[in-house]
Amino acid sequence: MRQRLVRLHVGNAPVVLAQTLVKMDGPVNDWRFWRGLGTRSLGSVLFSNPQVKRGELYFARLPLGQAWVWQLLDPRLRIEMNKIGQGRVWYARCARFSRKPERTPLWVMEVFLPQLQNYL
């Protein structure tokens, strides 16, 4: 399994944390670009390819202690999130991307930080 973790910023403020997962040893891997993606936007690659289909969007509320989310937070933001309290949640969405049936899917999960509401 390969994982890509990304922080999306507006100015200097992180507003979305994203995790992409793909099984590199799946039945047929359609995601060869993965290793050469670098700092390019994953969305620019996925949505520019007409073969790529996005599945249904799933929405969730994740507990504040979600490990991979904390991994992406800088120390200042961790302190701010701790002040908010453990009763709070992260709002997230997830989608499955595929190119052809019976091929290895790619999963993208995005977590929206409370700071995002400052830019709506």
What proportions of the chain, in percent to the nearest 5, are helix, strand and coil? 25, 40, 35
Q: What domains does the chain contain, in order, with CATH numbers?
A: 2-119 (3.40.1410.10)
Q: pLDDT 10s digit of each residue in the chain, 120 long?
A: 788 888 888 988 888 989 899 887 765 566 777 667 777 788 888 888 888 899 999 999 887 777 877 877 878 777 777 776 656 778 999 999 988 877 888 999 999 988 888 887
Q: 107 with 70: CB under 8 angstroms?
A: no
pTM comes to: 0.81
Give the whole-angstrom CA distance, residue 96 versus residue 31: 13
Residue-averaged pLDDT of the chain: 82
